[in-house]
Chains A and B, each alone.
Chain A
Amino acid sequence: MNSNAIRQSQIMRPCSRGLQLRYKSTKPVLDKKRALPPLSPRTRDFLARLIRVDQAGELGADLIYSGQHAVFKRTKPDLAPLIAHMWEQEVHHHKTFNELQATHRVRPSVFSPLWNVAAYGLGVGTALLGKEAAMACTLAVETVIGGHYNNQLRELLEMIELEAKQAEDGQTSDELRKLAKLISQFRDDELEHLDTAVENDAEKARPYMLLTETIKGGCRAAVWTAERF
C-alpha cells in the first residue's frame, strides 16, 4: 500500500505541512467547578489504550531512526541529514505522547524496555544492511503506523460525536478534538516519511520485500501488544 492509498481512506483533511502543533494542556489539574460531566468508561478505556500504544509506537520510531542515524553518520554521511530530519519529527511525536501519558495518567506499556531494545536494534540492523534495507524498514513501519493513526482517528471522531450526543446540552470539551487534530498532524508526518522512503527507491529493492513484510507483521504484533499491555 502506498501513501496515496492511505490518503484516499483518510477522514480528515491534512493540516498544512510544516506547522508543528504543540500540545499544551489547558490546566495542570482538573478545575472541578468548570468541569463537564464524566466521560463514559468506554471512551476513557479507548483513550487510555490510544495514548499507551501511540507512546510505545513513537518511542519505537524515535529509536529506529536514532539507530539508523548512528550507522549512516559513519557509513553514508550524505544520507544522515535525511534520516536526521525524520528522526527530529519522531522525537517531537515521542515527547508529545510522553506528555499526554503523564497528564492523562495513562500507564505506559509494561514492555517499554523491550520496545527500546527491539526498535534500536531494528534501526541499527537495517542501516547496516544498507540504504535500501533502511528505506524498506521505513516503508514498512510508516505504512503500518499511518494506517494505524487513520483507524484511531476514525474511532476517535466517532467517540467525540457520541459524547456530544450523550451530553445534556450537546456540550463537549475541546480536549478530545485537540487530540484528534494532533493525531491527524502526526499521521501526515508519518505519510511524509513514507513518501521519503518511496522516493529513495525502497520499493526498487525487490529482495527486500520479504524484509518489508516481516517488519510490517512485527509492527502489527507490537501495536496489538502495546495497546493491551
Chain B
Amino acid sequence: MSSGRFSKAAIRAATQLTNSPRLYHSLTHLPPSPYTATQIRIFNSALNHVPDHGFVKDSLVLGCRDQGYLDSTHAVFHNGVFDLIQYHLYNERTRLASLKEVIDLEENSPHDKARRYCIERLKANQPFIERWPEALAVMGLPSNISSSVKELAELSDEIWYLSGDKSSDFDWYTRRASLSAVYSTTELYMTQDNSPDFNNTWQFLDRQLANVANLKTTLGSTSTWVAFTGMASLNLLKSQLARG
C-alpha cells in the first residue's frame, strides 16, 4: 500500500469521527446500551457457531435456535450477518475498558498502552480468525462501509481514551487517524499469519506503530490539514443540514 493511499484511508477514518456526533461522556451516568438482553444472548450463541459455519446467515439461525427462538427470528436482524459482525465489534470494543486496571499497572507510556489494547483487541478475533476475511468482506460492502469505518474510528478513540491520551487540538485527529490505519492493516495481516501465537502479527504491529511517527508528519502538513478540514466540514455540514 502506497503511503498516499495509507494516509487517505487514515483521513477518511478520522473524518468519520466528526461525522458521527461524539456525544458527551458522563462519569456519573451510564452510556446507553444499543442492544437488548435477548439480542445479546442470541448474538453470543451465534458467534459460537461462527468457527464451524462462518459469518453467514446459518450462524445467526443457529444462535436463535440455541436460545429457544424460531429459526425465522433471524429476520428481525435487518442487516443479516452484518448485525452479528457489528455486535462483535461493539462488544469487543467496549470490553477493553475492563482491562484498564491491569494495563495501567503493566504498561507505562500511552504509546505502550495503546499497543497493548491493540493486541488485546486483535486477540478477540482469534477464535474465528480463519473466518475473519469473510467478516471483512461483509464490512467492505458499499452499504456497510460507512458503519464499518465509523466503528473503526470509535475503536481508535476508545483505545486512545483508555491509554490516557489528553490531546486537545488537531493532534486528537492525527492520533486517531494513524491508529485506525495501523489497526486495520494489522487486522488484515493477522488473517494470513500462521506463525506460532501470532508472533509475526505482533511484530508487524510494532513496525506499523513505528511508521506512525512518519504518518503523523504527513498528516501534520498544512495541505493535509486543508484537505482534512474540507472533508470534515462537508461531513459536518451534511449532518447539520439533516438536523435542521
Residues of chain A touching chain B, judged by Cβ–Cβ distance below 8 Å, are 25-27, 29-30, 32, 35-39, 41, 43-48, 51, 55, 59, 98-99, 101-108, 110-114, 116, 173-175, 228-229
Contact = CB atoms under 8 A, between A and B. Distances in A.
A48 B22 contact: yes
Most chain A Cβ neighbours within 10 Å, of B27, B173, B232: B27
B228 to A, nearest CB: 8
B223 interface: no
A23 B27 CA distance: 14
B169 A26 contact: no
Contact of A30 (B27, B172, B228, B240): B27
Contact of B17 (A41, A98, A107, A114): A107
B74 to A, nearest CB: 28
Contact of B22 (A32, A102, A106): A106
B24 A55 contact: no
B29 A37 contact: yes
B19 to A, nearest CB: 11
B27 A44 contact: no
Nearest to B97: A29
A6 to B, nearest CB: 27
Given A29-B100, A36-B30, A37-B30, A104 B21 contact: no
Contacts of B166: 98-99, 102
Interface of B: 17-18, 21-32, 97, 100, 157, 161, 165-170, 172-173, 225, 228-229, 232-233, 236, 240
Contact of A35 (B24, B28, B97): B28
B168 A36 contact: no
Given A26-B27, A229-B233, A48 B170 contact: no
A195 B165 CA distance: 38
B232 A229 contact: yes
A98 B172 CA distance: 12
5 contacts: A27-B27, A29-B27, A30-B25, A51-B24, A104-B25
Contacts of A43: 24
A111 B232 CA distance: 10
A95 B168 CA distance: 10
